[in-house]
Structure 1
Amino acid sequence: MNYPVKMYEYHVWANQAIFNRLLELPGELYNQKITSIFPTVSEALIHIYTADLGWINILSGMDMKQALTEAFQLREELESISLEDLNLRFIELSERFTAFLGQNPDLERIIRLDNPYAGIRDTRLSEIILHVVNHGTYHRGNIAAMMRQLGSSSAMTDYAFFWYQSEPELVLPK
């Protein structure tokens, strides 16, 4: 098993679980103001999306400063679209990641990041993939807490729950 790829599959599954739950709830919850880490659930999702977009652009060879600038400039547009449309954007973005990973890149290959906020660092592609997953997990936790504050439950997005949703059922010998 390619662990970073499996973890990215989990990230996609967990994001979709959040979208599926939000699509079941009253539409106003998506943009309802709340005192939390983000002012709305929509802004938390947009943050996950723009970070993922920046990282796939970096993985595809774009300079980090340019990738961050392009992702940040997209925020205003994303703030004006519906939950359904943002869900489609997430799906399209996951297809970009899947295509990249499907090219079987050497995920242990090292690239140089020139982070305008933190400096220069040599980083493995696998570390970037795992960072994308970890970052998403962290902010999905924020979203789960925000949804509770807004009076709704969230979706189960634990990695262990993913095992049971994504793995074929094992048939044990009798």
Structure 2
Amino acid sequence: MKQQESTIEVSVSPIVYLMKNYADYNLWANATLINWLRTKPADILEKEVPSCFNSIKATIVHIWKTQRYWLSVIKRSEPDGFDEFNGMLEDAFKGLVEQSDILADYVKEMTGEAIEESTLVVSPWFQCDFQNFEYIMQVMNHSTYHRGQIITIGRNLGFTDAPMTDYNFYNIHGR
């Protein structure tokens, strides 16, 4: 993982700056969450709980798969992210952080034109034709949503020391 000081050009449009910064934030927030989870007993992280997904591990895998899917949309490549995951907890941790790094690198390399360009998505569940920055926001918001679920599940399992992963905290302390 290449968590480094953000080097986003200040001459880009505000939406381009935000997307690039938000991709770095997503990497930082996912890495921060995973580093915290690594301090917890693996058996508890795989324990079945009443939630959207049946464990913290399953939620991590879902975030990872969804990020892979939306990256394939933005790249206009074959959809990726729907294969079955049968790996260990540490594999899920590593996969999410590595994929977040790949996503951040890709977004940082996108031109302003590519970020503002529209991409048609036709899937079994929906069809849309939005600008790529909307898909980038979709994946970032999705990851944030599920990080919050993980914190809540952890709280219900007795974890009281969750890290701060808010966007503003990242902008002040995380970069």
**What TM-score do you get using the length of structure 2 for normalisation?**
0.82
Q: Counterparts of 1:86 and 1:36 in 2: how far apart (Å)?
A: 19
Q: Counterparts of 2:18 and 2:29 in 1: how far apart (Å)?
A: 16
For residues 98-138 of structure 1, the C-alpha deviation after alignment (integer angstroms, 9 at most, x for no partner) is 3322433320011111132123x211111111111100111
Q: How many residues align?
A: 157
For residues 61-110 of structure 1, the C-alpha deviation after alignment (integer angstroms, 9 at most, x for no partner) is 125xxx1xx4222xx33xx3233222221233123223322433320011
Residue of structure 1 in register with 2:5 after alignment: none
Larger fraction in helix: 1
Q: Which runs of 5+ in 1 are unaligned?
A: 168-174
CA spacing shift, 1:39–1:46, aligned 2, 3 Å: same
**What TM-score do you get using the length of structure 1 for normalisation?**
0.82
Query: Is 1:72 aligned to 2:82, yes or no?
Result: yes
RMSD: 1.7
> Could you tell me whether the CA contact under 8 Å between 2:63 and 2:146 is conserved in 1?
yes
Q: Give the secondary structure class of the aligned counterpart of 1:24.
A: coil
Runs of 4+ in 1 over 4 A off after TM superposition: none
Query: Is 1:149 aligned to 2:156, yes or no?
Result: yes
Q: Counterparts of 1:92 and 1:36 in 2: how far apart (Å)?
A: 25
Matches of residues 25-36 of structure 1 in structure 2 within 5 Å?
25-36=40-51
- Which amino acid letter does the alignment assign opposite residue 22 of structure 1? L
Matches of residues 1-174 of structure 1 in structure 2 within 5 Å?
1=10, 2-63=17-78, 67=79, 70-73=80-83, 76-77=84-85, 80-105=86-111, 106=113, 107-119=115-127, 121-153=128-160, 154-167=162-175
